[in-house]
Structure 1
Amino acid sequence: MNLIHIYFDNIDPYAKAELSGYLEFMTGKRLVVMSNLSELMSMNDSQEVIIFVNKLTHGATCFCQYERLNMKVIDVVDDLVTSCSALRRIINLRQPVSCIFETISRVINSNHHRTACQLCHVLSELTPEEKMLIKIIREGKHTTEEMASEMGIGNKIISKHKGKLWIK
């Protein structure tokens, strides 16, 4: 197939244009830009997909459900300290263009597939109580009292779990 599906998550329009042009040139394939990640659900097995996301989205989105796709997820940062890294699959928009393009080439050409996304790695390290606390917060219950009531435990234990998760 001569198509690559691509998704950009809140990335500068000029960076999108540069990255798109480079990917078309490098791969010799036509890009199909996805408007949202839900389009991944309807794709055929082994479809080639490149996703550029910010660290926050990547840390909060499980990509494991799309293992059937030939997908590469690249984190995009825009800061003064992070370097580009093919191993960590990170590009920094403040780095030289040659560094960004070289990193993208290495990520795309690597045969390495992660067995789990960042979200799954983080969640696997949490206790069942911490996972329940996150679920309760996502449901809109934000006070310690509401959380304690939902979980059937004391306020001090909730505060302890929140402290471990860095939730204020």
Structure 2
Amino acid sequence: MQSTDSLRELNAKLLAEIAKPRKENIKIPKEKLLRFAEVKAENTKLKQIIEENAKHNSENIELKSRVEKLEARLALLEQSSTVDRIALSFDKLNNENVTKIPEVTGMLTSKQDEQDLSQSYEASSENIRSASCVLSKQPQVNASKLACNLKNREDFS
């Protein structure tokens, strides 16, 4: 029986020792509780901000994609406009050549000069028609390349 009594006594001592830390844990300072609540509120706010940022990032990506598409369309329209202006200048040049031919033929002295002029005119007209044809079939032609091609054709004529 002595062992049972000693065990009960030991159990009582251990329960008393456990009770002290429990009392201390119950007395958590108000400051720590307030700080914990503040941190929790701040974490909630930061999570909300992160979600909003993710939403804004996806919207920005969509808008950037849309801007790129619109810029590409604008470039095509500008290029097409340039090609149209070049085609109009070809037509104007062609009309000017037609009006100048009678003036020049009056100044020619021989049949050979008239034939040379006629052949030159036909070659120039053909070059202009082929360039216009290329323009109408390929509206995305780079205007600077087209101008270079036209200049090269004039050099060979």
Query: What range describes the TM-score normalised by the shorter chain of this pair?
Result: under 0.3
Q: Which has the higher strand share?
A: 1
Greater relative CO, 1 or 2 (CA 8 Å, sep 6+)? 2
Q: Which has the higher helix share?
A: 2
TM-score norm. by structure 2 comes to 0.25
The structure with more radius of gyration: 2
